[in-house]
Amino acid sequence: MSKKRLVIVGNGMAPGRLLEHLFEASSDGFDVTIFNAEPRVNYDRIMLSPVLSGEKTYEDIIIHDDAWYAQHNITLHKGAKVTQIDRANKTVTTETGVTESYDKLVLATGSNPFIIPCPGHDLKGVLAYRDLDDTEAMMVAAQKGGRAIVIGGGLLGLEAAAGLKMQGMDVTVLHLMPTLMERQLDTSAGYLLEKELERRGIDIRCEANTKQILGTETVEGVELDDGTVIHADLVVMAVGIRPNMQLAQDAGLEVNRGIVTNAAMQTSDPDIYSVGECAEVGGMVYGLVAPLYQMARVAAGHLAGNTDGAFAHQETPTKLKVTGVDLYSVGDFAEGADRDDIVLRDAKAGTYKRVILQDNKIIGAVLYGATEDGAWYNEMLKSGEDIAEMRDTLIFGQAHQGGGAMDPLAAVANLADDAEICGCNGITKGQIVKVIGDKGLTSLAEVRAHTKASASCGTCTGLVEGVMALTLGDEFKLPEAEGMCGCTTHGHGYVRRMIKAKGLKSIPQVMQELEWSTPEGCAKCRPALNYYLLSDWPGEYVDDQQSRFINERIHANIQKDGTYSVVPRMFGGMTTADELRAIADVVDKYDVPSVKVTGGQRIDLLGVKKEQLIPVWKDLNDAGMVSGAAYAKGLRTVKTCVGKQWCRFGTQDSTQLGIDLERALWGSWAPAKLKLAVSGCPRNCAESTCKDIGIVCVDSGFEILYGGAAGLHIQGTTKMGTVATEKETIEYVCALTQYYRETGFYLERIYKWADRLGYDHINDLIMNDADARQGFYERFVYSQTFVQIDPWAERVAGAEAHEFAPMANIKLEAAE
Ligand SMILES: Cc1cc2nc3c(=O)[nH]c(=O)nc-3n(C[C@H](O)[C@H](O)[C@H](O)COP(=O)(O)OP(=O)(O)OC[C@H]3O[C@@H](n4cnc5c(N)ncnc54)[C@H](O)[C@@H]3O)c2cc1C
Ligand code: SF4
Ligand code: SF4
């Protein structure tokens, strides 16, 4: 029997969850086809704010990767917008003309962000905050700095504001109402939130009504109703969402505020279901995932033949995902004659708790600063428990019921089995305990995989761990991350993101904030942190010599007999008679035992004694030569061929381009060594196709290649693209280098970095996104202003003198 065809329009969080339930219920009931206007797989939209703030990456928030779709035989059309439903023939058609027939159809088109139709709303630089494209556009805009204006002081607006601030922009929030997040917070909590955000340097303006957005092509500012003009380089509108129901409406389905469904999530056409923010059920539309996941469960049950499930409204708590701001709000907190409330304020601690009661039952709770009792209040709100007996101690929280304070695990132990632990996914304590027992789970990752608890916004992770610790005792394994080294459980990616996101500017600060387990770090993490700080805070962070390996500290490579090798820079592999004479004089004067021409087209003086280093460098400096940085995790050489100046095959002046590239790049620190080459034609005499970055000149311009390796690992380069001029070549290569510098892990060569990030993504970003490229280039040029100083000359002038003085003769001193 052939399978039924299930077509889904939209691939957001609701249908993703629907499919999981459906496959659980019947793994081979349907042939599934999904059309998604966004060109990607299903990701956790909730977590866009941590992506914006730099605390997570897109890869971290993918819910279903390509392998998942393949494993379930799902045909996923990415970047495919459905424009028509033919209900008579049961087909859907996309804007590019792809038609697919269905037996059952699910509409999960989500919402559209509302854009205030004021003058200037369509200028370049005015963005909404809805999907990954918006988030990436904000991140790119933030790279240029300047001021962002966020219109809307609700949940999304404030998360956007905090994220942009963490990305280094000046931020102003314009909010129409007198206090922030007025739909979730009362005025007291709104006030505390406003003060906290102002303390973080965000400019908050309430009762501010936007009149128009100023600018000719690109946004330049915002004018308010009262005539105030605020300059802006970016405007983010976060003023609400509207269910996306056009497709349903055009197909003649019943719509109202959203696509109208019954409690089984069926629309007015029983073969068409609707789930997610686009659906209206029981007269309500929703904008938080917990109810959407309930819709998904009900609809999946119906599709699988279980017609018992019905959607029922439940209050959903709100939490703001701004690191360090704890707020929790649930239910109704409006004043009313039949209501009373209990309030606890601790101005010094910055906490505020308010529980709203009606007939001795909790109908709402607003918590600011101390939110650990949110789940407990919500439990009682949902169960309608009479709180008369605990009224006196209710506001102090669960830990203070029945006597003195309890330990946190006792609080978890006291929760009933049907207490909801994960609000986003509707997972109860009993469900977690059961799955641990049934499946023998011992780690958080396993519990997440089996129940989804803490897998969405993650704010309940502590509670889930508490339930696990209680159930498993000593068997509970805390999550193990692959740490950078034994001093931390955090990986390189996390540490890099946190350095930026939390504005950490010194090694002790990183170790303190990210809870290093050793006081000083070790030889693995210190050089990595030193590099990350150098790369992220040019001009502010001062290089820590003690966090460098010996070769980088001494500015020469130590050889196996304890002497050093000295390699002066020869830009583009070119030299002169004067330079050669000076090198020959140094060889004679200091009796240098070996002189060798290197693979990178320069001259290596081998066997120099440590105490000779400074005089040798001085003589070379005097002849105009600087360090070749043959020891550096940074630019080493730019190898060139003779190019069109001498070679009959040469298409461009490859030698001059190599010199210019080396002049632009020398001194730059990178995650690992960086070797370049420029060949004058595809005969490739400079071996460009196995370098970290290679240029092959062609008649039409310059091919830029990268990701080659010719050491222990051998690999040819991948082409990034072709540009027309030498100037562009330098700009694109610097932008590529800067992207590598900003996102590479310490000691990760460029080919490994590109494998991790994806060549297509890198190519697209550097070749096609002019704003991003410009940002990288400008940051590269800026950071070069601090490092293009010859370390030899500095040492000759006396810097780090202790490194070069002979060690004290301890035996002699001791004898005296
Ligand atoms: C920044 C941000 C933070 C958030 N934080 C929270 C939070 O903390 N807690 C919480 O509970 N919720 C939060 N939300 C809300 C939550 O993410 C949404 O409620 C949820 O993702 C909606 O899921 P959905 O499946 O209904 O729609 P969506 O996830 O919006 O997916 C709809 C998809 O359908 C596609 N589509 C639309 N029309 C068509 C068409 N005609 N053809 C093909 N495809 C189409 C769209 O491109 C989109 O990919 C947040 C949202 C944002 C943007
Ligand atoms: S790469 Fe081409 S231009 Fe350069 S030396 Fe070789 S043949 Fe000549
Ligand atoms: S190839 Fe090996 S032996 Fe030769 S210089 Fe490099 S590391 Fe040393």
Q: Which of 654, 695, 702, 703 is the pocket-test mutation for ligand 2 (most atoms within 8 Å of CB)?
A: 654
Measure 700 CA to ligand 2 centroid, in angstroms.
16
**Per-residue pLDDT tens for 541-561?**
988 877 777 777 778 888 888
For residue 363, the surrounding DSSP H or E stretch is: strand 361-368
Pairing of the two strands 564-566 and 594-597? unpaired
Binning pLDDT at 50, 70 and 90, where does residue 805 land?
A: low
Mean pLDDT of 447-464: 78
Measure 447 CA to ligand 3 centroid, in angstroms.
49
Measure 729 CA to ligand 2 centroid, in angstroms.
18
Q: Which of 11, 21, 40, 289 is the pocket-test mutation for ligand 1 (most atoms within 8 Å of CB)?
A: 289
Q: Can you tell me whether residue 36 is helix, strand or coil?
A: strand
Q: What is the DSSP string of 251-285?
A: TT--BSSSEEE-TTSB-SSTTEEE-STTEEETTB-
Pairing of the two strands 234-237 and 272-274? unpaired
**Per-residue pLDDT tens for 228-270?**
999 999 999 999 999 999 999 999 999 999 999 999 999 999 9
Report the 10 Å Cβ neighbour count for 387.
16
pLDDT of residue 102: 97
Measure 643 CA to ligand 2 centroid, in angstroms.
5
Mean pLDDT of 746-761: 90
Pairing of the two strands 340-346 and 427-428? unpaired
Q: Can you tell me whether residue 356 is helix, strand or coil?
A: strand
pLDDT above 50 (res 816): no
Cα separation, 71 vs 49, whole angstroms = 30
**Per-residue pLDDT tens for 89-117?**
999 999 999 999 999 999 999 999 999 99
**Per-residue pLDDT tens for 680-692?**
999 999 999 999 9
Mean pLDDT of 566-571: 95
Report the 10 Å Cβ neighbour count for 688.
27
- As a whole-number percent, the residues of the chain with pLDDT over 70 amount to 94
Report the 10 Å Cβ neighbour count for 519.
8
Q: Can you tell me whether residue 620 is helix, strand or coil?
A: helix
Binning pLDDT at 50, 70 and 90, where does residue 666 land?
A: very high
**Per-residue pLDDT tens for 394-434?**
888 876 665 444 455 666 777 777 777 887 777 888 889 98
Measure 46 CA to ligand 2 centroid, in angstroms.
54
Nearest-atom number in ligand 1 for the CA of 37 is 44
pLDDT above 70 (res 86): yes
Considering Cα of 515, then 519, then 523, then 527, what sign does the dihedral take? positive
pLDDT of residue 598: 93
Nearest-atom number in ligand 1 for the CA of 278 is 26
Provide residues with CB under 6 Å of ligand 1.
Answer: 9-15, 35-38, 45-46, 48-49, 81-82, 108-111, 129-130, 156, 159, 244, 247, 276-277, 287-289, 292, 321, 424, 457
For residue 48, the surrounding DSSP H or E stretch is: helix 48-53
Helix H, strand E, coil C: the string for 495-543 is HHHHHHHCCCCCHHHHHHHCCCCCCCCCCCHHHHHHHHHHHHCCCCCCC
Q: Which of 638, 647, 702 is the pocket-test mutation for ligand 2 (most atoms within 8 Å of CB)?
A: 647
Q: Which ligand is nearest to the CA of 630?
A: 3
For residue 57, the surrounding DSSP H or E stretch is: none
CA 292 to chain centre: 25
The pTM of the full predicted model, rounded to 2 decimals, is 0.64
**Per-residue pLDDT tens for 300-332?**
999 999 888 899 998 888 887 776 788 889 988
Cα separation, 199 vs 516, whole angstroms = 27
Measure 154 CA to ligand 1 centroid, in angstroms.
17
Q: Look at 259 and 525; give whichever has higher pLDDT.
A: 259
Q: Which residues pair with 126 in a beta bridge?
A: 235
Q: Which residues pair with 356 in a beta bridge?
A: 341, 364
Nearest-atom number in ligand 1 for the CA of 160 is 1
**Per-residue pLDDT tens for 351-383?**
888 999 999 999 999 998 888 788 888 888 988
Q: Which ligand is nearest to the CA of 152?
A: 1
Q: Which of 601, 642, 648 is the pocket-test mutation for ligand 2 (most atoms within 8 Å of CB)?
A: 642
Provide residues with CB under 6 Å of ligand 2.
Answer: 641-643, 647, 649-650, 654, 679-681, 683-685
Distance separating the N- and C-terminal Cα atoms of the chain? 99
Contacts 24+ apart (CB under 8 A), 97-100: 98/35, 100/5, 100/7, 100/33, 100/35
Measure 218 CA to ligand 1 centroid, in angstroms.
28
CA 249 to chain centre: 37
Token pair 């830990």 is at which residue?
399
Nearest-atom number in ligand 2 for the CA of 696 is 1
Mean pLDDT of 484-489: 84
Cα separation, 231 vs 220, whole angstroms = 6
Q: Look at 815 and 454; give whichever has higher pLDDT.
A: 454
pLDDT of residue 398: 78
